[in-house]
Structure 1
Amino acid sequence: MDNKVLIAIVAVVAVVAAACGAVVLLNHGDNGGKNTDSSILNVDSPGTIEGGTYQSVIIGPSVGDGTVIMKSVKILGDLIIRGGGSHSVELDSCEVGGTTTVEKEGGEAPRIYANNTQMSSVNAKTDTIIESSGTGGFDSVTASGGADVTVQGSDTKVDSVSMGNGTGLTVNAGSVNDVTMGDGTTMNVADGSVSNVNVGKDCSVTMQIGANGSVDTLTVADNVSVTTSGEQTEAK
């Protein structure tokens, strides 16, 4: 066979193989896959992903209330969660460079479980559960669109929560440093602790503090209505 023809055949086979590999990586299901090409990974079924570097990861609605586990995965950009249930999205020793957005329609609220993974920014557009352990934690959590955010797990650490109008926050365990409450928001500290709560100007909010919960400092702006139940250590 002519050398030029042979080279052409090899080149075609290489292109086809590369294309097939991309399809496998972009429609990843149960098996672990690694990709160093910084592509987008679409997860369309429950399963475990081990290793790999991706530009972004999208957990699709077809995952339903199933569980997706990521181990030692590096996400350069954003993580988008449109599927997963209350035992759902587990990140074990992962890196997320961008924003994690939860926008799931129907079913259970997804749980983001960050084990030895620091989450820089979480945008909860729909109901979301957050939990961390080990060296994991959450720098910033923003609730919008009427979403309810639940903080659980005794080791969970959250630096700040920003509550958009009409959203809710429940702290069942763990610690939250700063909370900013918008108009029509509701916060229930059943257990765990919140260090500082700030209520914006012209806002009406509701706070409930359980017997095992605590809020250290409550700061309110002008023309604010705060309805509370339970114990409050300080208000100014």
Structure 2
Amino acid sequence: MRARGFTCATGARMGGRPVVLKVLSYNLWHGRAQRELESLITTHSPDILCVQEAYSSSLPTRLGDLTLASGTTGNRLAVALYVRSDRFVVEAAAKVKLSISRHDRLVGGTDHRLVTARVHDTQTGRRLVVGSFHGTPFTDSNAFRRLQVDDAHEALRRLGPGLPTVMAGDYNHPILLSMLRRHLKRRGFTVARTATSTFHKNRSLVRGKFDLATISGFEVSRAEVLPRGASDHRPVLFSFEYAR
């Protein structure tokens, strides 16, 4: 498919420049930062918004130019996925149960730690699969979190076999991150991460790069940590380009 100033077969370009996909991810810390979403969208104009620990009872169907594609409803805190309505057509969406962690068995956490959507990108004519992910907390092992990430990627591949894929969220895997990177490289995924920490709680020594994205069929253009708000996580803005 070709049009003037636009190609799809060897990467998405318009006017001779690559088309960028901007993905904003934010753990809202039990909904404390939910009121910040409208301002973040206005300031940074993401194409996709992935949120974790949102108040499920007050998740809006629209946030600025973004529309809710999929969100969990089975517990108080939700994982949700929004897409830019003037760019994407949602073809399918799902809430996905991953391997159940010790934390969720004992504490009664969320039934679903992943929401997904297969969308048609009208700017490029391409289809892709996106997901918002929230890994189990530190009460479980890194090995179990990697199992959940594998579960999540398998669900994304079932939704869109062979399509470019982006999954962003709170991976809860800041320690030995190199193990996650090597693990996913063998499975065809790249870990997009920021240069600085995305998590810091006052009076706590725990900090690190909790908030990540994993991609297939894309190249990382930029990953930046945005200014801190009301959450103990900082919002993260990723920019991707379709792989050639």
Q: Please tell me whether Structure 1 or Structure 2 has the larger radius of gyration of its CA atoms.
A: 1
TM-score scaled by structure 2?
Answer: 0.24
TM-score scaled by structure 1?
Answer: 0.25
Which structure shows the bigger proportion of residues in strand conformation?
A: 1
Which structure shows the bigger proportion of residues in helix conformation?
A: 2
